[in-house]
Structure 1
């Protein structure tokens, strides 16, 4: 079952109109959240990112759209799907619920919440191969809109097709200044000696929830310096480690870029600290 505008419906009956603006114009946002045994990981950060994104897109936030209201709807959905004692991926979609062409006739919103079971109760750093390559066919444009989790994801989609066709496990996405912004599905971190770099939001990378947690964790970790700074493709083969982050996988180590193979020592250390922080939420 999924929740559409507060009503639980079966997957088979969960239909949206063809005039839905999320479908017609990409006039929509989404939030992907990890839930463990009915505990929503980093819920406050997810909630405020969603509210901030809705304000940026000039969507009308309903008066009842409080964190308590949405949490109740998430837990209600998990209960009906028998997922309250499981690890889950929950997705909240918000769309402008209005007729009109490019100009909507109102800024009212509709929403839906879906959930599916995932494998692990905690973040696990897998030892799987993860070979990456630069995706050069299309570029991310830096700016505020690029930092949002909107439905406009053509660049990552095309990058994922490129990766599949060329037997890569992921791709590194560039902005119009030819700086490395992120991977297909996560924020990028580069380790060189005791410095850990991640692209600044001004470069157009996603304002990621796990990115935010790691910026905080690294800032409190002795002997390592966190720098939010543009990453040039020329730096990649000089790095000791590369890894990316997202809300479901936590941290994923990149094992190879062209002829360069990477360690995962810092990623292992950080995922332990990330799990410890998640358990305190």
Structure 2
């Protein structure tokens, strides 16, 4: 079942027409959520990112879009799909409805849809002994700026990059901005570990304002033995690192094991994963 503007309908039903602005122009935003036993992980962070993104793209926020309202709609959809007592991946999609060309018509109204699917792992894990190989994706670059950091439906680079990765037997690719700095992976933020120093690209470089990125930075900030820096990462730094890992809300922390001829460990990734799970259990 799909939640379309509060109505639960079959996933086989047609929800949109060809005039939907999300379909025609990518005039839409989305949040990907992990829900376990009826608890939405980091819901407050997701909600405020979504509201900030709607303001940035000048999308009128309906008065009904409170945190409680959207949470209830998500859980209603979870329950309708018999996933309230298990793990689920949820996509909350917000678009500007129908009407207009590039300029929305005065009659355009914000609409939302919520879809769910079962997800196997309730908590985050690091699978030791599993190869995870990446390389740089250099066919296209991302321009730094606020729009690049939004979770919008404009994901052409991620789509083409994913095809490139599959064609080259890679698990993922790292994306560059127009300044040729490494800013993120195709599906998450990037962290680089060298000794006691941890770097992640700053939002100003064009990386996604990731919810899991925020969680990891908060966990790292509590360790007085580590030096945390939000700074640009050069491709040359990748092969000098001790660890590289990717973060996203669905998978948590994904250690990169190989980049070109360089292989990496995953000790900090494992430690962070344990601390993240502890935060979740405590309701942080």
The secondary structure found in structure 2 opposite 1:13 is coil
The secondary structure found in structure 1 opposite 2:54 is helix
Give, in whole Å, the separation in 1 of the partners of 2:55 and 2:260. Answer: 41
Partner of 1:271: 273
Residue by residue, what CA displacement relative to the aligned partner does 1:185-229 show, whole Å, maximum 9, x if unpaired? Answer: 000000000001000000000000000001111011131111000
Indicate the RMSD between aligned Cα atoms, in angstroms. Answer: 0.8
TM-superposed deviation, 1:58: 0.6
Give, in whole Å, the separation in 1 of the partners of 2:94 and 2:131. Answer: 35
TM-superposed deviation, 1:15: 2.4
Partner of 2:24: 24
TM-superposed deviation, 1:78: 1.1
The secondary structure found in structure 2 opposite 1:269 is helix
**8 Å contact kept, 1:172–1:180:** yes
Give, in whole Å, the separation in 2 of the partners of 1:280 and 1:8. Answer: 32
Partner of 1:108: 109
TM-superposed deviation, 1:126: 1.9
**8 Å contact kept, 2:200–2:230:** yes
Unmatched runs of 5 consecutive residues or more in structure 2: none
Give, in whole Å, the separation in 2 of the partners of 1:73 and 1:280. Answer: 24
Partner of 1:178: 180
**8 Å contact kept, 1:59–1:108:** no
Partner of 1:258: 260
Partner of 1:41: 41
The TM-score, its normalising length taken from structure 1, stands at 0.98
TM-superposed deviation, 1:278: 1.7
The TM-score, its normalising length taken from structure 2, stands at 0.97
The secondary structure found in structure 2 opposite 1:69 is helix
Partner of 1:239: 241
Give, in whole Å, the separation in 2 of the partners of 1:14 and 1:102. Answer: 24
Partner of 2:159: 157
Q: Output aligned runs, 1:10-21, within 5 Å.
A: 10-21=10-21
TM-superposed deviation, 1:97: 1.3
Residue by residue, what CA displacement relative to the aligned partner does 1:39-58 show, whole Å, maximum 9, x if unpaired? Answer: 01000000000011011111
Partner of 2:208: 206
The secondary structure found in structure 2 opposite 1:238 is coil
Residue by residue, what CA displacement relative to the aligned partner does 1:69-105 show, whole Å, maximum 9, x if unpaired? Answer: 0111111111111100111101100001130111111
- Pair 1:219 & 2:185 matched: no
Which deviates the most, 182-191 or 12-21? 12-21
The secondary structure found in structure 2 opposite 1:173 is strand
The secondary structure found in structure 2 opposite 1:188 is strand
Unmatched runs of 5 consecutive residues or more in structure 1: none
**8 Å contact kept, 1:4–1:14:** no
The secondary structure found in structure 2 opposite 1:202 is helix
Partner of 2:195: 193
Give, in whole Å, the separation in 2 of the partners of 1:217 and 1:225. Answer: 12
The secondary structure found in structure 2 opposite 1:11 is coil
Which deviates the most, 100-109 or 70-79? 100-109
How many pairs were matched up? Answer: 281
Give, in whole Å, the separation in 2 of the partners of 1:154 and 1:98. Answer: 22
Partner of 1:137: 139
The secondary structure found in structure 1 opposite 2:105 is coil
